[in-house]
Structures are given as structure tokens and as C-alpha cells.
Structure 1
Amino acid sequence: MEKREPDKKSSAEWQREEKYLNQTLDIVKRNVENYESEIREMSDQIEEMLQHYHDNNVEVYTQMSNTVTMRDHMQSALKRNQRATKKPYFGRIDFLDETLQKEEALYIGRGGIAKDTTHQVVVDWRAPIANAYYENGLGECSYHAPDGRELPIRLDLKRTYEIDNGRLLDYFDTEVIANDELLTKYLAKNKQAVLGEIIATIQKEQNDIIRKTPYHNIIVQGVAGSGKTTVAMHRISFILYNYAERFRPEDFYIVGSNRILLEYITGVLPDLDVYGIRQMTMEQLFVRLLYEDWDEQSCSILENTAAAQGSMDRGTFGWFQALTEFGVRIEAERICMDSVVLDRRQFVEGLKGGVAGVFDEREGEPQPTDLVELLSGKAIRDYVEQTNASVQTKINMLNERLIIKIKDEFLKNGLRYSEKERKAILKEYRGYFGKKIFDISIFELYQRFLLEQKEKGYEVSVPEQAYDVYDLAALAYLYKRMKETEVISEAHHVVIDEAQDYGMMAYAVLKYCMKDCTYTVMGDVSQNIHFGFGLADWEELRKLLCSQDGDSFGILKKSYRNTVEISEFATKILHHGSFEPYPVEPIIRHGKEVEVMQLPTKRELYEETARRCRAWQKQGLNTIAIVCRTPEKAELVARQLGRLIPVCESNLEKAVFSDGIMVLPVVYTKGLEFDAVLIFDPDKEEYPVDDGHAKLLYVAATRALHELCVLYREDLTGLIAEPLPEEKQKEIDRKVQQLLEEEQGRQNTSGISAESKYDNTIENNNII
């Protein structure tokens, strides 16, 4: 960091900043007291109205509803001010509004703070003007007003504050310290401290993604530790703040690969002033799209981590195309597309055997006047092919059209039909194209589709009760394609994290089933750990989701999570694969070397694991992961290790991300990060040298913020033990050296080397 001037705290500027901070904290304290008082008063009013409320009293109901809404707004404002009691703001910009020729100084915080209805003392980070803090350097620039106008300003000051527990510790101006340097300082702290500083240190490339319009799709390729999940959550917060007239919390879905990740993700949302967002796995989303056809008593979900036979085929876009072709054939079977012709001779009122009625008198060739074409085959085919609706909806609409055509015929030629003939004709043709309710189970249809694919040579199993993500996707498609009669509005915007875990089949079905929805898709194809059926690249998904003007594809290549040592270790693992990974640019933050240690016995392996964890906890590393290859091994290790040290809940159905020692299978660590990570006994059998296992072990290694070690007994995986080919090693060394030189060039005025400047180990930052 830039060396601080010795008299900084005694300067007039420091005194002004402390005064403003204290004034702001006084306002926050007063706001909290006022909001608490008003909420109590409103709650009493609501209670009183409930006691006197009667069903037929519309006036009381309206008043109570309005009071409840006002109380909810007050509670949100109270929470926002309560969060500001220790740190009301993190940044400040001074600028000249060149339109009004007026100088302004704005303080920026994670929530807006108002002194009264006209005086804002802290601006919300999501406000349009706050974009200048993240986006611009000093000098001439602009920001976009809510109405879309570009407003020119001259940015004169950009300042970032260190405030802790209501005390001003320091501040930094852009001409002294760059934003990513400040982030590097924060990253040297433990995980809880890092999460608290995220809003202050959002980087330009992250900010660009956060502030993209929600009316278009965006796909983001972000390397491990680039802040994908953080960006996604801040994007939701930004959209809700700036597009409140269109998007409400219930309009969002967050989709993640497992429950632990989802709870970890949504745990940060309340701090971003976001409540009520629905979260689910991809499997749960498809079950949701099955509506009443999903029976929890007779059906169960197979997790994506335990892919069933044939997923390499069933996860592809080609599989979706085969399913759509199957749908077309079923539609042709269910809907007769021949012309519908009324033969008047079939409905003739008269007497037969002394009984009056309507009889079929068709004999011989009909005369032209006997036949009335109600619907032509061409009209039926055109309707079926051009209408974007389910088979059942088309059947119902064709039935309605047919009845209308018959009634039109009665109006035109009413004298030709008696009342009894009319009733007989209507009865005969009502339901001509089919019943009002689809009478074939979509589960039976899906089994038929799979059997057809097996006959074509695909190795697929036919599920009976347990369904994986691609089974569920196919079922959701068939429900929408075959039997949906009422279009239910689902989400308006879906955020998908760890998107590389799912094949194109899943995305094609999502786009088909949720046509009026936009997407924020975050992932890293280098972390596709579902061998053969995830995304190896983004090309197909870009064609599917980014085909319209305004859709975009972004890349986050800077990694803020790992130290240089951890990043280099993980990159070597990845380069054992035959694929070309996206380049990673680690922030230059040094730490301890990754230690790889062999232990002679199982007992010593567990004892050393326990010793390491205790040592890390003494250093202030609060979140620790013991990473195992499989759920079964994680369960065993948790049980054995639990005899030596306390470990967190190991049941994957109950476990939540928390402080302490978590023992997890590698697939459940995706998207998470920990202060320290121990990879437990990664041998050759568990991690053979191939592309899939290189990505798997890379995921494990890149979970660590500060420290990483590998403990094993024997036969260490070649992904760690075997040296890289000389050319690949040279390329890694060259890139690391280039990064160091670039960093040194940016900091050459400080007189401190890049290596020493960023030697931010835990000890150096007083976490012990």
C-alpha cells in the first residue's frame, strides 16, 4: 500500500471527514429510532384493525392493506439503516455537473441514507450516478440518467474509505491507490471480512456486467475466483433497484447446482437489500415446470452429480432436436389434419319404424349441395404448424373453431336444418379433434421416446421412479408441448450459477418452456466436472441465448480469490488436460507455498489433517474445507476426523455453509470458497490423468483463499505428482513473469517491488 503521510490524521481534510462520518452516524441512529417507533405504532394499528375487521368492511380492509405495505417499507428502511450503523458508506465522488454547472460531493454506501425527504446524505451504490465511482477515472466522463440520457460530468475526486465500527481508519484517493490494490488489501483478510468489503471494491469489468440491462441475456465466462457469484447477486440487487416498475423479487429465480451452494449464494442477498428471491436447483426448476403432473409420492429426483446411463447423449442439443421431432410426430397422431366435411344426409330428421328422430340417410354418391366443408385440411395444417401452443391447446381451439363454423353454417342456411338436426350435428362434432384434457401420461410418452432412441442404438436407461436432470428436462418439455392449457407466468429473469454443469438439452428446454424470460448465465468451462454432458465451451449456448441485438457475452479473467502460489499450483493441474483453458490473471497477492505431504499410515493421515485444521483456526482462518473425491469418502472422513476435532454437519441433505471445518465431496465445493482447503488423499485411482479429473481437481484447489495443502498416503495422482511437459511449464512461467512485470510497471512510483508489496500473508495482516 502507499505509505501514509505521518500527519494525515491531524490534517484539516481528515477532521472534515471525521466530522461528516459522525454527522452521518447521528442521522443513521436517529433514523433507526424513528423507524422502530413508527413500526411499533403501525403494528398496533394493524392489530386494532384486525380486531374490528369484518369481511364486508371494504374500507377497513383497504386501510389495513395500505398500513401493512407502509410497515413493510419501513422495515426495509430500518434494516438498511441498521446495517449502516458501523459503516454508513465506503466511497465518495466529487464532480462538476456540466449541464447545471454545479459542483457536487456524494458519499456512496450499500444503501441510501436520508436525513429527511429532500436531503440524501448517502447515495445507494446502485444509483446511476454511483456508476462513476466504479467506471471512471478522474476528468471528463459521463453517466446515464434513469431516462437514458447521457449526462456529462467532470470527476474531480474518487475516494475510498476504511471504516470499522463507526471509526474512520483511513481513506485513499484514486491518484494514490488503484481500486484493485485496495481489493488486494481486503483479500488478505479472512472470508468474513472480504464479504463485507465487496461493494466497495467491485471492479470495472464486474460493474459492466452488473449494470447490463435485464431485458437481454448475458453469458459470463469467469475463471475460478473472478467473482461470478458475487457479480450475479449484485446484479439482482441492481435490477430490483433500477427496474422496480418491471421486476419484483418474485420475478427472479436463482438456479444452482446444489442446496449448499444455493444457501451460500442467497445468504449475501439480505445485505444487498434483497429479500424473497426464489432459489432452486435445475432439477427442482424442471419439476416446478411439470406442475400437477409431478407426484412426490411416486417420483424422486436423481441429483445431477449421479448422472444416469446415457447422459453424454441426453445432455446434448441433438437430443433436444430428437425430442422436438418426436413431439411433431405425436402431434400428427393426435390431431387429424384432413378436411372436416359435413354431409347433410347424415343428419336428416324423419320417421323410422314409427320412431321420430334424426337419421343417417347416406346412400350412393353425394350431391355437391349435400357437402359443406367446415374446415379445410390446409387451414388445419397451417394453424397447427404456425401456432405456438401445446397439442391440447390446439385441440381445444380447433374444436372451438369447428363449432363456430357449424354455427356459421346454421346462420347462413338456417332454413335447411331443423332444430333437432342442429342439435344432432353439434353433438356429433363437439370434441371432434379430441377431449378437453390430454389423456396420455407424459411419463408414458417419455418412455416411448426413450425406447425409440434405444432402437436407434443409443445406450439409455428407461427410468421408472427416479429421474435425473435430463429426464426432468424432457418431461418438462413434453408437458409444455403436449398438455399445457393455461400458460403460467414463471420468472421474468433467471440467474444460473455454475452454468457449465448442464448440457445444452437443459438450456434448450428452459428457453422453450420459459419464452418470456431473460437470463444471466455465469460459469467457467474449465470447471465442468460432469464428464461428457456439461459444457466444454460456450459456442452452442451463445447461439441459443445470445442471438438478439443487446444480448452479450462477457469474460472475467482476473482471479481475486487465490494467492499466486495457489493459482499457479491449480493452473498446473489444469494444464495436464488436453483442452485449452481460458487464461487466468491472478491478482498479485503472495502467500505460503502449497504443501504436498505424504503420510505413512491412515492414522497419521487423519492426525495430520486434524493438526493442520487446528493450526489454521488459531491463525483466524474460520472457514476450512476438507475436500474428498466422493460423497461416500467424505462421509467416512467426516466420521473418522470427528473423533479428533469438531467438524460441521456432514449429511449433505442438512449441511449448510458455515464457519468451522466442513468435509465435502469435491462436487459440493463448486462455487464456494474457504479460508483454507485440505485436499484429502487424492490418489491415482480417484484422480486419473485425464481431462475430466484435471478439471475436478482444479475445482478443489481453487476453493482456497489463503492456504492449500495436499495430504496423501501413497500413489499420489499424476495430476500433481507428474511434471508438466516442458513447453506448458515454460508458458506458465512466462505468464506469471509477465503479470509481475505489468504489476511492477503500474506501481513503479511507490518504490516497493510487486512481490514484496503484495506479500500479504495472514500474519502480515494481523489476523492471528
Structure 2
Amino acid sequence: MDVKLDYEIEKKYLDNVLGYLNDKLSEYVENRKNISDSIVDYRKKFIEEYRDDDDKIIDYFDHENYKNEQIFMLVEKKIKEILYLKKTPYFGKIVISEDGEEEKFYIGSYGFDIGLELPLIIDWRAPMASLFYQGRIGELSYKIPSGEEICVSLNERIQFLIRDGKIISMFDSDIDIKDEFLKEMLSLKSSNKLKNIVQTIQVNQDKIIREDRNKSIVINGVAGSGKTSVALHRIAYLLYNFRDYFEDRVLILCPNKIFMEYISAVLPSLGEYGGVHSYTSEDFIYLSTGGNLNFNSYDSHMEKILNDKEYLDEFKFKGSYEMKCEIDKFISYVEENINLGGDIYFRDELIINYEELNRLFYESFKSRSIDVRINLIKKRIFDKINKVRNTFVRQIKDKYKSMNTDSDMENYYDMLMRNEIYDVVRDSSDIKSSLHYLKLESPYELYREFYESYFSKDLVNLDFGDLILIKYIDINIYRPKKDREYRLVVIDEGQDFSYMFYQVIKMYTESPSYLIVGDLNQSIIKFEDNFTHSTRIFENKKDFEMLDSYRSTKNIIDYSLKYLNDRISVNSIRDGEDVTYFECEYDDIKKILIEAINNLKSKNIGIIVLDKRMINKVHDMIKSNFYIKTITDEDHVYSDNGIFLTTVYFSKGLEFDSVIVIDSGFEDNILYIMLTRAMHDAIHIKIKNVIP
């Protein structure tokens, strides 16, 4: 192959694409200006015309000019895409043969088509782009959204590294994305936002991203395997190929707000600016219960998990299958002991008898929720009361109508009639009011009754486990309406959620597909049923393992694996410096920390400890030597540069250029979590004595 000739050909194509991009950018900028001017002029004209009519102005801002503003937003999105493409128009090229004709396609983060015979760039999410990610040349196939499989011959596969519109490197790649390219991408500094990985998606990752849209996928992936990135790229892929089906129906549940902020840039960088709903798992459950209960914050809950064994054991039990059985017994008890009362009479007229009440509740309305059954019975009773009441009223009217009265007595008898009717209406209202026992307590009140009976103690402070069980009672007894329909539910850090959590999410969302990512080895809370077992409740489920780490160096990975009880094999393609280990007295930590921070070349350093108590101690040690950014609650922000001091539970999912772990004595897998936050360097400081 004439490399120089190929380079000149590719450079010419790149220059051609850049020219078209510049032309299209100018066109979009002009369009944006025209639309913006039109919107501003219309607003000025409208406000001038109706300056004295506030209602008209309000109505305008609610309804008018919506179309132009939507077009403006679309043009703005296209401008952002083209500005990105000008720096890196594409990263791959495939040459395929189909029916004897050879065609070439360039693959980028976004598609770019100006109406020529072939698009200048195809979007990485397009079905054909999967040929690039399959990792080999030869006879291949790809599926289009309808499910039809297209067979082609992949003759050539080229990888590009393009920066600021210039080809830095290019090479044939007929097996997988070249190690040199991947290493370069992984050697970049950490960021305050998770980055998209479209240029380095691996074969196994691409299979997950493009899996059947109706599958429920559970990924057990080691630290740094890119499982969160894969989940977000799958969302982008599904929205691109099945937008009408998924748009505004995707739910992402994150462990905490810091993590939610950390991943927030990925979907916009892939061209998806809306249509996805993100919550912390706690907030989602809390808001779905009505949002009027007080419960422990995420950080106070995790502090108790780490330091209060009794609290931890109770929390784990509340999330277990055994607890589900106990709650189900309680719900059955509530159903079987509903106070339906006895025979109901209205002025000696039988409205409904006890047998009919029971038949309605336990037979006729059996398929409905308990709450609905009670309301249906009350409606049936009220209808019958109204019917009898109306009969009495007619009888009273007929009685007075049939009486022969003098005209001067008409008003008197009319008053008597009205009084009798009033008595009937009052009696009917009194009977309805007396049926106050035909109602259910709130889900919280029912749960409190269960909790205090089962645990033989008062329910004082609610935790996340309590919220889950309250919601479980709510779903089973009240069957509340959902705020919206979800067709894909994505759950991150899945290993930290209980069996009961997954039950509630499944019952409440009723989504046809789920995507759950986690790492069994990063479980802070070791539930009896781990997440790979708990998620068996989801239909059409497919399990994946991801054992390649793209975050940490091989040295850091090998060192961290020593702290896992279950021996696993993890692949890492980058070599680096060995982990530095110190074992010291508590009083020597300050000196070691200061030297370590000064020796590290990183602009982004994470000091990770167990809990807030240790944060306070370490911060006091070195606050006069360095500016320390502490992350102690969900309102703190993780940024690009600086020295960050945080707990193990807030560090989950984040990454730092360098990590200093202060080992104050805890379970080994906690060390694994801490160490694998590091991309390039890790220091392990073990405290020998008891911490004061």
C-alpha cells in the first residue's frame, strides 16, 4: 500500500468535507440570525400592539411563535454539531462491496449529508456504522431498524485520529481499534464530566449498545470498564433509530446528584438534548410517593450504613425477598380485615346488606386494587342512598300536592314540605358521613402499622429502605397512576440496590425494557440477593460481563485486585507506575500526605477516605498547606482541576488522574472501589494504629 498516496487522498477528502462544513455553517448561522430577528421583531410588534393588555401578552408567550422558536433550537443544535465536526469530522472509514459495487463511508459522531450520491459522514449510530465496530473485515452483516439483515463484504477499515481539522494519524485496522489509538485516548486527563466514547467503542461494547430494543440488559462490569458510558450510548443509539418509540419515555436512575451531574454531558455530546428524564433513585421513589415524607438524606444514610451495623442489618433485611413475603402477608391481612360494616338502612329501608358488601369486595371487584374496591362500594352505596332519598322526596311532594289547601295556607304547607324534604336530605347526608370507616389509611400509615408490629419499636426516621416498602404498599393497595409511560429504564450502580427496589421499579414503571449496570465487587451494601440475581424478575433479560478496564493502568488494576475475595481476571491495556504503599502511625499521615501531593504531577487529585469523620480529620491536617475541595454532600460539585477530599460512596463512578487512599481499616472491597478511581497514579496509605 502506498501510504503517502493514501494520505494525500484522505487529506483531499478531509479538506473537501471541511469546505462543505464551513459552507453549511455559514448557511445555518445566517438562518439563525434571520429566525432570531423574526422572533424579536414579532415580539416587539406584538407587545407594542397589546402593551395595555397583559392577558394578550401572556397568551402570546404561551402559544404564539412556537414554531419559529422550535426551528431556532433545531438550527442551534445543528450549529453545535458542525462546530464539533470541524474539529473532528470523522474517525473511521469503511469500504464495502454490495452486489458487486464498492462504496466508501466515513463515520463520525454526527451524520453530515448535503444531498450528494452518498452522505459525506454517517452517524456512528446508523445501522451501517456497526460494520466499523465489528472488529474484522470480510463477509459481514448489519441490521436495519425493521429487523432486516443486510449482508455485505467489508473490504477495508481505516482508523483516523483527526484533531482541529488535521489528520494526526491513520492506519488499517482489521482486528479491533488499534492499541496505539486507544492508549492515546485513555491517556488523556480526567474531566469533570464523563466523556463520550464513540471513537473507541470496542466490539463487546458495541454489541450491547446495538442489542435488540426489547431486551432487558444487565451488565456486571469491572471498575473502569465503561459500563456507564455504554448505557448512555445505548440510549443515544435507541433514540436515533427508534425516536418515535423512545423519545420522552427514557428514565435514568443514578445513585446520587454528584454522579448525575458527572454523566450529564454525555447525551448532549451525542446530539441528544432532551427526551430523557434523570433522577436519583431516592428522589424518584420519594416523588412517586407524593413527596411529603421526611427521610434520611443520601449521605446521612450512607454514613449509617458504614458505621452502624444494626442499621445496616435492618436496611438489608428490608430489601430482601423475605421482607417481600412479610409485607405480602400484611397486605393480605389488610384485605381480609377491611371493615365493610353491616347492613345499611335509610329510614328503615334496606340499602345494602352485609352479604352484598362482601360479595362486591371479594368477588365482583376482586380484580381491582383494594382502594378502588372500597371507592366503588361507597359509590354503589351512595347511589342507592340517593335513589331511596329521591323516592322519599317524591312521596313528600306527592303528599302535599294531593292535599286540598286554601290559597292563604299554601305558603305554610310549602314550608312544611320543604322542612320534610330537608330532613330527608339531612338524614341521607348523615348516613353517608357515617360511612367514614369505609376508607384506607395512607400507605405511610399502613407501613407504620406493619413496621411497629413487626419490629416491635417505633418508626422514627425513615430511610431509603422504608420509602421502597411504602411505595410497595402503595402500588399493591392503591395502584397509583404513573406520571408518564417509560419504555426504557436505566439504573446505574445497580449493585447497591436491593431485591425490593427492583420489585418496586418493575411494578411501578411497567417498562418493556430495562438496562442495569453495576459491579458486584463494588458493593458497599452486600445484599443477600445481589443485583444479578435480583434482576431475574425482568422478562426477556440478557446478561453481559465486562472485564476490560479502560480507566486505570495495569499496575493499579493488579494491585487493587488483591483486595477482592473473588479472584477475577481484568484486562488493562495501559502500563504505568506501581501503586505506592505506606504503612504509618496516625500522627505521620500529615507528612506523608503533603509529600505525596507535592510529588504528584497531576492537576486532578482525589483523596478518598471512608466517611465524613475521616474527612474532617484529614482536612484539618492539610488545609493550611493546600486548597482542598471537599465533597461531603450532594450539593458539592466535582470539577476538572484541584485536590478533592471525599468519601468512598461519593467517589463511586468518578475518576481522578491520581488517587490517594487513606486506609483506616475497613472491608477489602472498599479499597478496591477507592483505588480504581485512579487513572494514572495511586497511593495507598495504611494507618497502623487506632484513629483518635
Question: Could you say whether these structures have the same fold, taking a TM-score greater than 0.5 normalized by the shorter chain as the test?
Answer: yes
1:764 paired residue number: none
Distance 1:118 1:401 in 2: 69
Distance 2:81 2:73 in 1: 12
1:661 paired residue number: 643
Over 3 Å counting, the alpha-carbon distance change for 1:131 and 1:400 in structure 2 is: farther
* Deviation for aligned residue 1:108: 0.9
1:731 paired residue number: none
1:223 paired residue number: 222
1:474 paired residue number: 469
Q: Are the counterparts in 1 of residues 179 and 573 from structure 2 also a CA contact under 8 Å?
A: no
SS at match of 1:663: strand
Residues 1:569 and 2:551 are matched in the alignment: no
Residues 1:698 and 2:688 are matched in the alignment: no
1:70 paired residue number: 71
Deviates more, 1:29-38 or 1:200-209: 29-38
SS at match of 1:253: strand
1:461-500 aligned within 5 A: 462-464=458-460, 466-483=461-478, 486-489=481-484, 491-500=486-495
1:557 paired residue number: 547
**Deviations along 1:552-585, whole A, 9 cap, x unmatched?**
11111222222222121111111xx3xx35x333
**Deviations along 1:219-260, whole A, 9 cap, x unmatched?**
111111211111111112112211210222x43332222222
Over 3 Å counting, the alpha-carbon distance change for 1:284 and 1:490 in structure 2 is: farther
Residues 1:541 and 2:535 are matched in the alignment: yes
Q: Which amino acid is the alignment partner of residue 40 of structure 2?
A: E
Over 3 Å counting, the alpha-carbon distance change for 1:22 and 1:434 in structure 2 is: farther
**Deviations along 1:4-27, whole A, 9 cap, x unmatched?**
x9x84xx12101111111222222
SS at match of 1:449: helix
Aligned residue among 298, 301, 310 for 2:297: 301
Over 3 Å counting, the alpha-carbon distance change for 1:481 and 1:93 in structure 2 is: same
**Deviations along 1:292-333, whole A, 9 cap, x unmatched?**
544xxx655354413335113112122123223222322333
Residues 1:253 and 2:251 are matched in the alignment: yes
Distance 2:431 2:480 in 1: 21
Over 3 Å counting, the alpha-carbon distance change for 1:472 and 1:376 in structure 2 is: closer
**Deviations along 1:102-137, whole A, 9 cap, x unmatched?**
432111111112335986311111111111111252
Aligned residue among 310, 316, 319 for 1:312: 316
Residues 1:333 and 2:332 are matched in the alignment: no
Q: Are the counterparts in 2 of residues 527 and 699 from structure 1 also a CA contact under 8 Å?
A: yes
2:597 paired residue number: 613
**Which runs of no fewer than 5 residues in structure 1 stay unpaired?**
348-358, 363-369, 456-460, 688-692, 718-768
Give % identity: 25
2:412 paired residue number: none
SS at match of 2:253: strand
Q: Are the counterparts in 2 of residues 138 and 157 from structure 1 also a CA contact under 8 Å?
A: yes
* Deviation for aligned residue 1:63: 5.9
Residues 1:513 and 2:503 are matched in the alignment: no
Over 3 Å counting, the alpha-carbon distance change for 1:418 and 1:671 in structure 2 is: farther
Q: Which amino acid is the alignment partner of residue 670 of structure 2?
A: L
* Deviation for aligned residue 1:473: 0.9
* Deviation for aligned residue 1:403: 6.1
SS at match of 2:643: strand
Q: Are the counterparts in 1 of residues 608 and 645 from structure 2 also a CA contact under 8 Å?
A: yes
* Deviation for aligned residue 1:500: 0.6
Distance 2:389 2:115 in 1: 71
SS at match of 2:483: coil
* Deviation for aligned residue 1:180: 5.4
1:151 paired residue number: 150
Aligned residue among 494, 497, 500 for 1:502: 497
Output the aligned Cα RMSD. 3.7
Distance 1:226 1:36 in 2: 40
1:728 paired residue number: none
Over 3 Å counting, the alpha-carbon distance change for 1:636 and 1:512 in structure 2 is: same
Q: Are the counterparts in 2 of residues 597 and 711 from structure 1 also a CA contact under 8 Å?
A: yes
Q: Which amino acid is the alignment partner of residue 705 of structure 1?
A: M
Distance 1:159 1:193 in 2: 31
Distance 2:97 2:63 in 1: 46
Distance 2:30 2:476 in 1: 54
1:710-749 aligned within 5 A: 710-714=684-688
Residues 1:646 and 2:649 are matched in the alignment: no
Q: Are the counterparts in 1 of residues 257 and 635 from structure 2 also a CA contact under 8 Å?
A: no
* Deviation for aligned residue 1:396: 2.2
Q: Are the counterparts in 2 of residues 315 and 506 from structure 1 also a CA contact under 8 Å?
A: yes
Distance 2:383 2:686 in 1: 77
Over 3 Å counting, the alpha-carbon distance change for 1:480 and 1:155 in structure 2 is: same
**Deviations along 1:266-307, whole A, 9 cap, x unmatched?**
23332122224433322111111112544xxx6553544133
Over 3 Å counting, the alpha-carbon distance change for 1:587 and 1:481 in structure 2 is: same
2:572 paired residue number: 587
Distance 2:553 2:116 in 1: 46
Distance 1:184 1:223 in 2: 19
1:596 paired residue number: 581
Q: Are the counterparts in 2 of residues 502 and 535 from structure 1 also a CA contact under 8 Å?
A: no
Distance 2:219 2:352 in 1: 62
2:9 paired residue number: 16
1:684-695 aligned within 5 A: 686-687=665-666, 693-695=667-669
Over 3 Å counting, the alpha-carbon distance change for 1:113 and 1:635 in structure 2 is: farther
Residues 1:632 and 2:613 are matched in the alignment: yes
1:208 paired residue number: 207
Over 3 Å counting, the alpha-carbon distance change for 1:406 and 1:16 in structure 2 is: farther
Over 3 Å counting, the alpha-carbon distance change for 1:418 and 1:92 in structure 2 is: farther
TM-score (norm 1): 0.76
Q: Are the counterparts in 1 of residues 136 and 176 from structure 2 also a CA contact under 8 Å?
A: no
Over 3 Å counting, the alpha-carbon distance change for 1:332 and 1:371 in structure 2 is: closer
Over 3 Å counting, the alpha-carbon distance change for 1:429 and 1:126 in structure 2 is: farther
**Deviations along 1:624-672, whole A, 9 cap, x unmatched?**
2111121221233134323222332444343222222211111221112
1:392 paired residue number: 371
* Deviation for aligned residue 1:612: 2.6
Over 3 Å counting, the alpha-carbon distance change for 1:63 and 1:149 in structure 2 is: farther
SS at match of 1:208: helix
**Which runs of no fewer than 5 residues in structure 2 stay unpaired?**
306-310, 399-420
Distance 1:417 1:151 in 2: 82
Over 3 Å counting, the alpha-carbon distance change for 1:446 and 1:67 in structure 2 is: same
* Deviation for aligned residue 1:208: 1.5
1:121 paired residue number: 120
Over 3 Å counting, the alpha-carbon distance change for 1:377 and 1:418 in structure 2 is: farther
Over 3 Å counting, the alpha-carbon distance change for 1:492 and 1:264 in structure 2 is: same
Q: Are the counterparts in 2 of residues 180 and 203 from structure 1 also a CA contact under 8 Å?
A: no
SS at match of 1:26: helix
Over 3 Å counting, the alpha-carbon distance change for 1:25 and 1:330 in structure 2 is: same
Distance 2:204 2:10 in 1: 30
Distance 1:431 1:573 in 2: 66
Distance 2:598 2:440 in 1: 62
Over 3 Å counting, the alpha-carbon distance change for 1:262 and 1:462 in structure 2 is: farther
2:34 paired residue number: 41
Over 3 Å counting, the alpha-carbon distance change for 1:166 and 1:612 in structure 2 is: farther
2:272 paired residue number: 274
Aligned residue among 319, 340, 361 for 1:380: 361
* Deviation for aligned residue 1:181: 5.8
1:190 paired residue number: 189
Over 3 Å counting, the alpha-carbon distance change for 1:526 and 1:360 in structure 2 is: same
Over 3 Å counting, the alpha-carbon distance change for 1:329 and 1:45 in structure 2 is: farther
Over 3 Å counting, the alpha-carbon distance change for 1:177 and 1:333 in structure 2 is: closer
Q: Are the counterparts in 2 of residues 395 and 434 from structure 1 also a CA contact under 8 Å?
A: no
SS at match of 2:160: strand
* Deviation for aligned residue 1:191: 3.0
Residues 1:675 and 2:657 are matched in the alignment: yes
Distance 2:148 2:395 in 1: 68
